Structure 1
């Protein structure tokens, strides 16, 4: 089938491309008014780049105006190119307020500056130029403001196809002239052809980056500089230069629409029931943890903007290292995945502590829970009942932001516990097991247990299972959920989580043994 499409200029900096973006901006501003007008001045971020005349850093000090933000991949920060890339530090802060050398900037930044100028806007926000990179306090403060920074931007430019700051925003293939004819009325016309452009957004470099998750979701308007064309995304629709609108409107067969599904879950949470808000959060965690971060310490900060939006939806609730007080038991039921868009494998326990082991933020794998929309459709209440008493949960932030980095955390839970032994079967599909009284049951490990460090769990080591929740109401094929724990080395009476286990209630010998030998006790998990 031969379809008609719009001409793709082949250069994102072309007059035609800029005019198209301006049309998208005007249409969004006029028809999607609840998301803010493009002509509305807002309170500006702490610092911005003034691109109007020359180039310099501006400390806004309460100013109101309009600005554009940039979302991009840092690339390999340990590379020689990355080390030479200009960024704001305490040493060059004063001079940057006077002037920034245009030639010192990476190619992606230069392209973003040029495009901002062509849109007729004065200010641009770029993380490495507007946050002091060698000042931890400044970084934590600015990271806590990410929700406002991206939400208030007129437009976010996404260097979607660029794997690092040194890459140019791409130019696209030109059309091929096929024929020229004269109509019966004597009018001359020309026929051009181009391959149908793919819209496989999830494979672009930017979509593999953890920070893009909140940058994209919080931005009212996001412009993708993709591999083949410009793709527009706002909270009420999508568009592209080739104008394949029918493809972009679908969500079941089109990759763009499919990859946009998690954004829909996030936006729907703002009008959902309290339980569906809980489910939406777990969907967000699942999608977010499939992505990669250059620095492990960024796991919670890189989601802090979206977290703050959910705090607004759960004003009576308490946020706890990626979990929530009101749904703490059900939020505990995450397990590590070793598949997904990026096919992240099970990884070793982190060398440096980042979060308590009961939090998904303590590992680097993608996670899934039994309480997401993938499992339970559109239920408005959980299908599980808690089997534990949560006696105490405490998380201490490293700075002033409760959604940012942590310095410590623990949970005290009372419930039914059974001690057993770890069994490892390297050639078996069910390779990680708890053994007790001649019975064995497999579990999902949170991380690689065979590493040569303090996190290693060896065959024969003592481990424990703590029952967390059960299906409600009880029915045929009901399941109970357990945390798998071990004693924390060097800390008396303290445990750490190493996995999660699900047991069938009926006809299960291990479950019957658990019921006959379990003990009720309170344990502290760090």
Structure 2
């Protein structure tokens, strides 16, 4: 502080800068703080307090089914090396942090050295040593303590590992764990549990500069070459594209969290309902509406206020993005987003079945592989995930581009009835999920392969439809059946009005009246005729 009165440091200024606005120059740190610099944690405390006092992000979220997790890690012992697991009581009023991290490629022996198991849970309820934990966990404990919080949730410590019953129970409560957390710590830069995340790649060898256009970046301190620079405030590169955010489990952790601190390898970012704030004291604004919905601390309130079309587009965006993310266990595909799915279904007031929402059933069913490769069925237990759900297969998906407003959906296509008690458990849905619908057969047409899809041709070899197969094509439409999902009218090249059907391609199973999905597409109405009523697609 110099003389001449108090100086005000504007902590969060807008990233949108105009070189003509000379009175609105960015306020920034000249260098990033060292990993152990107390000012770094002071900034985190300031962000947290400022959000508590100025935003609505910390309001209790009544949508969460579980107010507190089954177990938390207690960090408040007088001896900082002593930790213990704590089972919250129903009337406890506890603030806790949650850790979002990547396990990485570590061996099972390594995992057993620090995970909670049936063998050590009783002793961990009494107390154990901080030194038993890997670096990423120790960094998370350091941050939690520095911010004045005594409780932390970490999956491998608070869920009993290699105990299927406990894992299933806790997986269903995951929505509440992150939605109720006071704040989430994202170990964005940590490739695995042993890596840690407080240390970073950019250090004081770089100096922050700003050019005449307001663009900000770091250059090496010992050179004047502006081409030798490191991008700064690049949330997309530092966070969105980081390995952590390629993991499937992390998607719902991030969306359901009220606010998140991202520890990238370049700088810290604070993310809450009001936007993203950088360690360089800059506020980032996003023009991407879908990100705005994801920042909602009371997700999905903002989404529902935007109307049905936005909701459909967002659900499809989430499904596509999630389908391209990585999982260590492929059978977790139907579980790692189940909390988020349940939250959306509850908010829009409908049932959902493995990523397919009843209120938007028809559009949700019209998905296809995004990479053009044939799908591989995931090895779930028999009957767990139906063939018409994209969760039944591995790999990325995309939805057919269908206009809004001019499509008439098949009202005979619906979910089958289910027992409510069975529906409540995602691990006990065996053999009960089916679509009830009519099916038809193709007539007066044939198939011809065209790159990743098949053209439906009439007798003159004119194209009358297109099919994308999930699995191998039979090459013969006379062996295929189809479900008409919706239809719309359009004029062809001759100005004649034709009706276009959006279809699922299905095949008979070994049971009469039961079919399985094998593809998706469209076909002109004259080449399909309805044949059987009220069959099941499983």
TM exceeding 0.5: yes
In 1, the alpha carbon distance for the partners of 2:491 and 2:359 equals 23
Match of 2:334 in 1: 300
Does residue 73 (structure 1) correspond to residue 102 (structure 2)? The answer is: yes
Does residue 334 (structure 1) correspond to residue 367 (structure 2)? The answer is: yes
2:508 alignment partner, one of 457, 466, 487: 487
Work out whether residues 422 and 432 of structure 1, in 8 Å CA contact, stay in contact via their aligned partners in 2. no
Q: 1:300 to 1:177 in 2, by over 3 A?
A: closer
1:129 alignment partner, one of 157, 160, 163: 157
Work out whether residues 383 and 473 of structure 1, in 8 Å CA contact, stay in contact via their aligned partners in 2. no
Work out whether residues 230 and 240 of structure 1, in 8 Å CA contact, stay in contact via their aligned partners in 2. yes
2:354 alignment partner, one of 318, 321, 346: 321
Residue 68 of structure 1, CA deviation: 0.5
2:54 alignment partner, one of 24, 27, 31: 31
TM-score normalised by L of structure 2: 0.77
Deviations 1:465-501 (A, max 9, x none): 222101279896864201011222x333321101101
In 2, the alpha carbon distance for the partners of 1:467 and 1:306 equals 29
Long gaps (5+) in structure 1: 180-190, 340-344, 450-456, 506-510
Residue 20 of structure 1, CA deviation: 1.0
Match of 2:68 in 1: 44
Q: 1:364 to 1:480 in 2, by over 3 A?
A: same
Residue 241 of structure 1, CA deviation: 0.7
Q: 1:260 to 1:163 in 2, by over 3 A?
A: farther
Q: 1:25 to 1:262 in 2, by over 3 A?
A: closer
Deviations 1:94-119 (A, max 9, x none): 01111223222221111101111111
Match of 1:418 in 2: 442
SS in 1 for 2:434: strand
How many residues end up aligned between the 2 structures? 473
Deviations 1:311-362 (A, max 9, x none): 33223x22223223333223211222128xxxxx654122334410111211
Work out whether residues 323 and 395 of structure 2, in 8 Å CA contact, stay in contact via their aligned partners in 1. yes
Long gaps (5+) in structure 2: 1-18, 20-24, 209-219, 223-228
Does residue 5 (structure 1) correspond to residue 43 (structure 2)? The answer is: no
In 1, the alpha carbon distance for the partners of 2:170 and 2:446 equals 45
Deviations 1:250-295 (A, max 9, x none): 436xxxx986675579553232335543443333222222212222
Match of 1:212 in 2: 250
TM-score normalised by L of structure 1: 0.79
Match of 1:498 in 2: 518
Does residue 97 (structure 1) correspond to residue 125 (structure 2)? The answer is: yes
Work out whether residues 345 and 357 of structure 2, in 8 Å CA contact, stay in contact via their aligned partners in 1. no
In 2, the alpha carbon distance for the partners of 1:487 and 1:64 equals 55
Match of 1:467 in 2: 484
Match of 1:360 in 2: 390
Work out whether residues 72 and 88 of structure 2, in 8 Å CA contact, stay in contact via their aligned partners in 1. yes
Match of 2:451 in 1: 429
Residue 243 of structure 1, CA deviation: 3.0
Over aligned residue pairs, what C-alpha RMSD do you find? 3.6
Work out whether residues 69 and 125 of structure 1, in 8 Å CA contact, stay in contact via their aligned partners in 2. yes
In 2, the alpha carbon distance for the partners of 1:50 and 1:20 equals 24
Work out whether residues 69 and 156 of structure 1, in 8 Å CA contact, stay in contact via their aligned partners in 2. yes
Residue 211 of structure 1, CA deviation: 0.9
Is 229-238 or 266-275 further displaced after alignment?
266-275
In 2, the alpha carbon distance for the partners of 1:84 and 1:11 equals 33
